Amino acid sequence: MAFFYDEPSRTFSEYLLLPNLTRKECIPENVSLSTPLVKFKKGETPKLQMNIPIVSAIMQAVSDNNVAVALSRCGGVSFIFASQSIEAQSNMVRKVKKYKSGFVISDANITPESTLNEVIQTIERTGHSTIAVTEDGTPTGKLAGILTSRDYRLSRCSSDQKVKEFMTPFSSLIYGNDGITLTEANDIIWENKLNCLPIVDNKQNLVYLVFRKDYDSHKENPNELLDENKSFMTGAGINTKDYKQRVPALVEAGVDILCIDSSDGYTEWQGETIKWIKETYNDEVKVGGGNVVDKEGFLYLVECGADFVKVGIGGGSICITREQKGIGRGQASSLIEVASARDEYFEKTGIYVPICSDGGIVHDYHITLSLAMGANFVMMGRYFARFDESPTLKLKMGNNYVKEYWGEGSNRARNWERYDLGGGQKLAFEEGVDSYVPYAGKLKDNLDITLHKIKSTMCNCGSISIEEFQRTARLTLVSSTSIIEGGAHDVILKEKNIFVNE
């Protein structure tokens, strides 16, 4: 006879935190959100840690090199999507690793023969007022000069006037040589009262631009997650089909950590993949496994060598696995059981294996609940798909802007490898949908608010670290009526944005 769980399958929205004594030291500025990313032995420091407990999902509509840089700058890790060619994914990893904080590859470029009218078009297209003038108009061409708004006046210059007639020529520029450090570049900028310092190689080809404004940006991101070479850290997804070709390419590109992208991680295919990586690279390459929803799945992947385990099946906003296949479990129930198994395994072996909660997050406070329930970090897709940095199109629908968002189990993603059960190279049916999400602006602006909410709640619970929070947090189940009580009720809400421009 089949096994039946006595407890119902529960979601995050069925729980609330109870406050503990808020000590005077419990203020958001004192809260540390650092968390282990990979397994470690008792008394040791994990080889990879994050400064915030958040990673982005292995999805076409979410995690490319732009999100990877933006999230790493804030202290988290992005897992660049695997449902693309090995070469394309490896190139995305290289872009992240080669990206130098403060060193910008010019994306507003023209030639000396361009006209003022073309300058205006370039500014409108890129939004940048500082334009590099290269001989061939490329970001890495021979630098002929720099053009800023101080070099021309629209009221006094003809629209067909050539750039070479009013640009600041290379001979008049102060520049840095390739290999210069960011500190040295900023010193030159400040000593010479510059807004922009071009960096060139020994053939006068443009390499980077360093801006005065980016100095402040660097200071505003104290949580930047950097490797030993001071490059941004990034992860990448893999599958259980072409891993023997994909993993070496990603490792060569400089990836920091891998994660198998699968809707169901409790499989021999995933076990074989993890074991191959561990044996081939002598445990030097770190890889996460999943997804699982119970103790058995967790222990299976851990025994195979997983460095972290991802928890959750069917809880994503675009995932319809439960609807299509009747398989999965409420995210809260899954997380509570796996966290208990993780702690039990740690007590037994002295090895701590971090767990990642993937799915089921609707509100910011759900992240905090997942941490209290034992997650070391959360993986989110919809959350990041809304931002400027995500790879999807921004569209206008009615009076609002939206961004496209689709599941890896949708026909659009064509990611049959993620759902591989030893069959043919196609999706027999969809386990994800194609949708839109409300556009929300810049990643950092939104993430800063989310992190402040997490820290504030932890302070209410008398905790200033995730480890303390998990040890002392108290949770209670809520009734349907208490959920209603928790929101605005029995009032007439004032309308927002009621002013109309006549």
Report the percent of the chain where pLDDT is more than 90.
Answer: 65
Residue 27 above 90 pLDDT? Answer: yes
Q: What angle do CA 242, 246, 251 make, to 5 degrees?
A: 150
Least confident of 137-141, 387-391, 463-467, 478-482: 478-482
Residue 420 above 60 pLDDT? Answer: no
Task: Look up the pTM and report it.
Answer: 0.79
Q: How many CA atoms lie within 13 A of 74 on its CB side?
A: 24
Q: What is the pLDDT, as a whole number, of residue 63?
A: 94
Q: What is the pLDDT, as a whole number, of residue 486?
A: 78
State the pLDDT confidence band at 223, using cuts at 50, 70 and 90: very high
State the pLDDT confidence band at 419, using cuts at 50, 70 and 90: low
49-50 vs 35-36, strand pairing mode: antiparallel
Q: What is the pLDDT, as a whole number, of residue 432?
A: 67
Mean pLDDT, range 144-158, rounded to an integer: 85
Q: What is the pLDDT, as a whole number, of residue 230?
A: 77
Residue 267 above 90 pLDDT? Answer: yes
- 204 near 170, Cβ under 8 Å? yes
Mean pLDDT, range 283-291, rounded to an integer: 96
What are the percentages of helix, strand and coil residues in the chain, rounded to 5?
A: 35, 20, 45
Query: Closest by alpha carbon to 416, among 242, 174, 193?
Result: 242
Residue 411 above 60 pLDDT? Answer: yes
Mean pLDDT, range 424-428, rounded to an integer: 58
Angstrom distance (rounded) from CA 405 to CA 395: 12
Mean pLDDT, range 293-307, rounded to an integer: 97
State the pLDDT confidence band at 501, using cuts at 50, 70 and 90: very low
**Which pair of structure tokens corresponds to residue 60?**
């076409």
| pLDDT tens track for 439-488 | 999 999 999 999 999 999 999 999 999 999 999 999 999 988 887 777 77
| pLDDT tens track for 199-208 | 999 999 999 8
**Averaged confidence pLDDT in the chain:** 89
Q: What is the pLDDT, as a whole number, of residue 152?
A: 85
Q: What is the pLDDT, as a whole number, of residue 498?
A: 46
Residue 323 above 70 pLDDT? Answer: no
State the pLDDT confidence band at 412, using cuts at 50, 70 and 90: low
Least confident of 20-29, 147-156, 183-192, 260-269: 147-156
Q: For 131, phi and psi rounded to 5 degrees?
A: -125, 130
DSSP state of 443: H
Ranges 41-55, 91-105, 398-412, most confident:
41-55
For the CA atoms of 370, 375, 378, 379, the dihedral, rounded to the nearest 10 degrees, stands at -120
- 419 near 327, Cβ under 8 Å? no
- 473 near 463, Cβ under 8 Å? yes
Residues 6+ apart with CB under 8 A from 375: 53, 311, 335, 339, 355, 356, 357
Mean pLDDT, range 275-287, rounded to an integer: 97
Q: Which positions are annotated as active-site residues?
A: 319, 418
| pLDDT tens track for 3-16 | 888 889 999 999 99
Residue 117 above 70 pLDDT? Answer: yes
State the pLDDT confidence band at 413, using cuts at 50, 70 and 90: low
Instruction: Spell out a b/e string for 148-171, using b for 16 or more CB atoms within 10 Å of the CB, else e.
Output: eeebbeeeeeeeeeebeeebeebe
Q: What is the pLDDT, as a whole number, of residue 502?
A: 41
- 310 near 316, Cβ under 8 Å? no
326: left (phi over 0), alpha (psi -120 to 50) or beta: left
Angstrom distance (rounded) from CA 296 to CA 166: 70
- 92 near 235, Cβ under 8 Å? no
Place of tokens 């740690």: 346
**Which pair of structure tokens corresponds to residue 280?**
């081939």
Angstrom distance (rounded) from CA 425 to CA 441: 37
